[in-house]
Amino acid sequence: MKDIEIQLNLIQLIMENKGNSLFLQKLADYAHKLMEEQDWWDDLSETQKNFVHKSAQQIDEGKVISNAVVRENIKHQILARFS
């Protein structure tokens, strides 16, 4: 959805709820909270940041296994248990 469509939908939502002050206040509070939020990175511990950096390095080095491969391996392990 394009920005203009989102803006128009938001305006429409506000106009449809102009008599619902609780809804409008919660919407305004949520919008203000989103604008004030800090970057989630700042909330991570050094251990967590190091883990993210190490993971990114492993991706760059091609040391990854795709989700499809992992799911297939799990499927075979489960089937092997019940056969």
Give me the residue spans of the domains in the chain: 3-81
Predicted local distance difference test score (pLDDT) of residue 83: 79
Residue 18 has pLDDT above 90, yes or no: no
- In angstroms, what CA-CA distances link 56 with 47, 50, 62, 66, 82? 14, 10, 10, 14, 37
Using alpha carbons, list the distances in angstroms from residue 77 to 50, 64, 72, 81, 82: 32, 20, 9, 6, 9
- Name the token pair of 24: 């409008």
Full-model pTM: 0.42
1 vs 45, higher pLDDT: 45
Write out pLDDT tens, residues 25-78. 999 998 888 888 778 888 899 999 999 999 999 999 999 998 999 999 999 999
Longest Cα–Cα distance in the chain = 62
Do the beta carbons of residue 49 and residue 42 sit within 8 Å? no
pLDDT for the residue numbered 11: 92
